[in-house]
Structure 1
Amino acid sequence: MSTSTPATILFLHGFGESREVWTEFTRDFPDQYRLITLNLLGHGTNVHDIRDYSMEAQARYVAEQLRQKNAERALLVCHSMGGYVALAFAERYPEMVAGLVLFHSTALPDTDEKKANRDKNMDFVRRHGVEKFMESFIRPLFAPSNRERLLEQREFLEDIGRATPQATVLGALEAMKNRPDRTEVLRRAKFPVFFIVGKEDIAVSVESILPQLALPAQSHALLLSDVGHLGYFEEADLTRQAVIDFAGMVFGD
């Protein structure tokens, strides 16, 4: 990559998370990379005057932040909803994408069943609040064997989730429900794509990802046993090294 700025890696968190989920994950990255972590609209400390939670609005925000930081291109490492944002970003700003890591994420739209579940979740949040919702939402995202082993990490995510404004939770659920099919973004990608998949992921199944592996011109995959939707905690060392190796390939290090 020939720019005046160092090779940039941008980390995008998932729904009900914040940039803090990447703190430990990024601690041992090589010094030659410029690491950027953002709070997506409505998340973390970025909670003021948010009117549009759509993936497209999030993508515009990401582009604005990268431009402010003089990053012409970046490798995007994106968890779950962050991947939906990254795909919207890649659709509109493909020239700014050096590579893409879909970390438990998908280019497919919600199925009818998934849309119905989003509606049920929104109804639950309206009736019982964000705190009650997060108590039941986060635990199943870990593979069964990791739910007690990683209790500290689970509580960490629950704390972040509980601090997420109700407007954000509702707005993000609606936005995810309404996002379009972006498999064409993968098909047209001139950048390498790396899929990290948990074999016990209840949110993004292995079966739904396998056909997507064939879409990009250059595709890589890591399929993880005994991992659910949170591989950056469930297999932290393995996934960290995999992302570092992918970054080396993307930037020719």
Structure 2
Amino acid sequence: MPAAPQPTLVFLHGFAESPAIWADFTRDFPSRYRLLMPALPGHGPNPAPVTDYAMEAQAQAVLAQLDAAGADKVVLVGHSMGGYVALALAEAHPARVAGLVLFHSTALPDNKEKKAARDESAGFVRRHGVEKYMRSAIRPLLAPGNRKQLAAELKQLEDLAATTPVTTILGCLEAMKHRPDRTQVLRDARFPVLFIGGHDDPAVPLDTLLPQLALPAQSHALLLRNVGHLGFMEAPELTRQSVLDFCAAIC
């Protein structure tokens, strides 16, 4: 009897990032895994024009890439906004999902304060441009103790983010502000879910993440001290091994 096909591992980058963030992270993944790293709409080196940045529309764009690649059953690994997209995909097509990794991400919608912060960010971008915004917005995502030692990596990420079109920045800020509560996706999940969180994450505070760990029937967690929102940079070995262990239990 032929072996069942292995799920494809799909890595979804975050807001103002690109598939390049996963290059070092996945370099030592076993060759038995098939890896896909799609660029989310409006992102990447040659982004096509985008009219809809809603998480549902982004999920459909990812699904089209999965279909084109012949990837049926997938493990979704989503960083930050990539996690929002992964949740939207899992909500619309749960049978396609073998596992879900929320990598510094959340199923909760923006609260009033977060929505106001999105509007402030959009105003800053309109007044000062994308590059100046990214020079001020990314550094605080790192845990304070990591900012000096990861200065080179931080600069690379800032440079990458600064190339993101202004229309993408503004479109994604608005779409993230209006995304719905998707905690029901976690409650209904018939697939395992891995949560990766940082004790110093200003974007996804642990006090908002911890209650979500109890929602899926199969829940796993890696909660990291001295890590902010960028665990793939701040704790690459620990986060990589956690994702590998999670995938090994599924595949």
Q: Shorter-chain TM-score: what band?
A: over 0.9
Corresponding residue number in structure 2 for 1:180: 180
The answer to whether residue 44 in structure 2 is matched with residue 44 in structure 1 is yes
Could you say what secondary structure the match of 2:211 adopts?
helix
Q: TM-score by structure 1 length?
A: 0.97
Superposition deviation, residue 250 in structure 1 = 1.3
CA contact (8 A) 1:39 1:46 kept: no
Superposition deviation, residue 57 in structure 1 = 0.5
Q: Which digits, 9 at most, give the CA deviation of each residue in 1:14-33, with x for residues without a partner?
A: 00000000000000001110
Corresponding residue number in structure 1 for 2:105: 105
* Code of the aligned partner of 1:59: A
Could you say what secondary structure the match of 1:53 adopts?
coil
CA contact (8 A) 1:54 1:176 kept: yes
Corresponding residue number in structure 2 for 1:199: 199
Unaligned runs of 5+ in 1: none
Corresponding residue number in structure 2 for 1:229: 229
Distance 1:4 1:218, change over 3 A: closer
CA contact (8 A) 1:5 1:71 kept: no
* Code of the aligned partner of 1:178: H
Aligned ranges for residues 148-159 of structure 1 at < 5 Å?
148-159=148-159
CA contact (8 A) 2:53 2:171 kept: yes
* Code of the aligned partner of 2:175: A
Provide the C-alpha distance between the structure 1 equivalents of 2:3 and 2:105, rounded to a whole number of angstroms.
29
Distance 1:3 1:136, change over 3 A: farther
CA contact (8 A) 2:14 2:79 kept: yes
Corresponding residue number in structure 2 for 1:114: 114
Q: TM-score by structure 2 length?
A: 0.98
* Code of the aligned partner of 1:196: I
CA contact (8 A) 1:11 1:37 kept: yes
Corresponding residue number in structure 1 for 2:66: 66
Q: Which digits, 9 at most, give the CA deviation of each residue in 1:12-55, with x for residues without a partner?
A: 00000000000000000011100000110001135222111110
CA contact (8 A) 2:55 2:176 kept: yes
Segments ≥4 residues shifted beyond 4 Å: 2-5
* Code of the aligned partner of 1:241: Q
Corresponding residue number in structure 1 for 2:133: 133
Q: How many pairs were matched up?
A: 250
Corresponding residue number in structure 2 for 1:54: 54
* Code of the aligned partner of 2:186: L
Provide the C-alpha distance between the structure 2 equivalents of 1:15 and 1:241, rounded to a whole number of angstroms.
24
Superposition deviation, residue 4 in structure 1 = 6.9
Provide the C-alpha distance between the structure 1 equivalents of 2:169 and 2:46, rounded to a whole number of angstroms.
13
Between 130-139 and 45-54, the greater mean CA deviation after superposition: 45-54
Provide the C-alpha distance between the structure 2 equivalents of 1:14 and 1:131, rounded to a whole number of angstroms.
17
What CA RMSD, in Å, does the superposition of the two structures yield over aligned residues? 1.1
* Code of the aligned partner of 1:189: A
Provide the C-alpha distance between the structure 1 equivalents of 2:157 and 2:199, rounded to a whole number of angstroms.
21
Provide the C-alpha distance between the structure 2 equivalents of 1:73 and 1:3, rounded to a whole number of angstroms.
14
Provide the C-alpha distance between the structure 1 equivalents of 2:171 and 2:5, rounded to a whole number of angstroms.
35
Distance 1:46 1:89, change over 3 A: farther
Superposition deviation, residue 5 in structure 1 = 4.8
CA contact (8 A) 2:108 2:183 kept: yes
Q: Which digits, 9 at most, give the CA deviation of each residue in 1:57-108, with x for residues without a partner?
A: 1000111110111111110111000000000000001011000000000000
Unaligned runs of 5+ in 2: none
CA contact (8 A) 2:204 2:229 kept: yes
